[in-house]
Structure 1
Amino acid sequence: MGEIVVVENLTLDGVMQAPGDADEDRRGGFRHGGWARPYADHVAAETMSRGMGADGAMLFGRRTYEQFHGFWSRQADGNPYTEVLNRKHKYVASRGPARPLPWENSSLLEGEATAAVAELKRGTGGDLVVLGSGELVRSLAAAGLVDVYWLSIHPLILGTGERLFADGDAAYRGMRLTRTVTTTTGVIIATYRPAG
């Protein structure tokens, strides 16, 4: 049985909304999109590429899947992220009507997301890595399905935006720190496992 590994970019106040681009996610009038870009460096790139290159598949919510496909599938050859993302199998959880998935190696999960992911987790030998996909991550966390949180914590406070753990989303849960890497720009890449 594989593990579910959540990979997120966060601010110090827990905001995860639109780290990559100004127009990535403007829900709720969010105007700070692209906040993670100034903190990118070689340490983060090397750390993330090692994690993404591991055996297993990717797991996305529909919105994040479409954003990733729109950007990464069109990047030039030789980009290590594009190569990994194109090659890996991608599972997509969606509440909307079934539509064809345009990215190679993609499958739409049938039925309710947490039940479908729990079944997938039991039947896979490798890890399922979730990138972004905040709504999906919060539902998986509430169901106790997340095994590892790989959080890139950025040294800024936005004061607004969708947070990884919003008020009332999750019950009290202790975490155990298993690894940290600090980038040259002050981002702490912290790996946590739920305690107990």
Structure 2
Amino acid sequence: MARITATESITLDGVMQGIGRPDEDTRGGFTEGGWADGYQDDVAMRFMSEGMSMTGAMLFGHRTYEDVVGHWAGVTEANPFTDHLLNATKYVVTRSSETTLAYPNSTLLVGEAAETVRALRDQFDGALSIIGSGELVRSLHAAGLMDGYVLQIHPIVLGSGAKLFADGSRSDLQLERSVTTTTGVIIAQYAVKR
């Protein structure tokens, strides 16, 4: 059975929307896109590189798959992300059977997220890692399918934007590891208590 973990960049008030670019995600009139710019450092890069070195597969919502993999597929400068994202096995969750996948090593999971991911989790041996994909993470969290989170908590309060966790029932987490970057970002790795 797979272990499902999400890696997310969030603000102190829990916003995860549009971290990378001003036009990345303007849904709901969000105007603060690109808020994580300038917060990466060597500490964060080392921590994230460790996660990429683990075996397993990636799990995406369709929108994040197109945005994240599409962005890194077009980057020509040397970096640790492009090769990893293109070479990794990727499962993409969508409700539409008309969805096409443009990048190598990608498999479509059509249906409701909790149902399709539960079936994948039960047959997959290893780690399933999610980046971004807020709607997918919220759905899997509500269904009790999440095993862990790596949260990059930025020292910013935005006051608006889509949050990582929606209203719902209580979940207790156990801190497994944490590190603070030189830019004040706290990277906290949590396991979901069962």
Same fold (TM over 0.5): yes
- For residues 139-186 of structure 1, give each alpha carbon's deviation from its aligned partner in whole angstroms, at most 9, with x where no partner exists: 0000000001110000010000000112x2x20111111100111000
List gaps (5 residues or longer) in structure 1. none
Equivalents in 2 of 1:96, 1:24: separation in Å?
22
Q: 1:175 aligns with which of 173, 176, 183?
A: 173
Instruction: Please tell me whether the aligned partners of residues 19 and 36 of structure 2 are also in contact (alpha carbons under 8 angstroms).
Output: yes
Pair 1:8 & 2:8 matched: yes
Pair 1:195 & 2:188 matched: no
Secondary structure, counterpart of 2:179 in structure 1: strand
Residue 77 (structure 1) shift:
6.1
Secondary structure, counterpart of 2:31 in structure 1: coil
Secondary structure, counterpart of 1:39 in structure 2: coil
1:97-116 equivalent positions in 2, closer than 5 A: 97-116=97-116
Q: Give the structure 1 partner of residue 157 of structure 2.
A: 157
Q: TM-score, normalised by structure 1?
A: 0.95
Equivalents in 2 of 1:53, 1:24: separation in Å?
27
Instruction: Please tell me whether the aligned partners of residues 173 and 191 of structure 2 are also in contact (alpha carbons under 8 angstroms).
Output: yes
Equivalents in 2 of 1:76, 1:125: separation in Å?
33
Equivalents in 1 of 2:77, 2:56: separation in Å?
22
What letter matches 1:94 in structure 2? T
Equivalents in 1 of 2:75, 2:94: separation in Å?
25
Residue 53 (structure 1) shift:
2.1
Instruction: Please tell me whether the aligned partners of residues 95 and 110 of structure 2 are also in contact (alpha carbons under 8 angstroms).
Output: no
Instruction: Please tell me whether the aligned partners of residues 72 and 82 of structure 1 are also in contact (alpha carbons under 8 angstroms).
Output: yes
List gaps (5 residues or longer) in structure 2. none
Residue 79 (structure 1) shift:
1.8
Q: Give the structure 2 partner of residue 126 of structure 1.
A: 126
What letter matches 2:128 in structure 1? L
Secondary structure, counterpart of 1:49 in structure 2: helix
Residue 123 (structure 1) shift:
1.3
What letter matches 2:182 in structure 1? T
1:73-88 equivalent positions in 2, closer than 5 A: 73-76=73-76, 78-88=78-88
Pair 1:22 & 2:16 matched: no
Q: TM-score, normalised by structure 2?
A: 0.96
- For residues 113-135 of structure 1, give each alpha carbon's deviation from its aligned partner in whole angstroms, at most 9, with x where no partner exists: 21111111111121010010000
Instruction: Please tell me whether the aligned partners of residues 43 and 184 of structure 1 are also in contact (alpha carbons under 8 angstroms).
Output: yes
Equivalents in 1 of 2:81, 2:69: separation in Å?
12
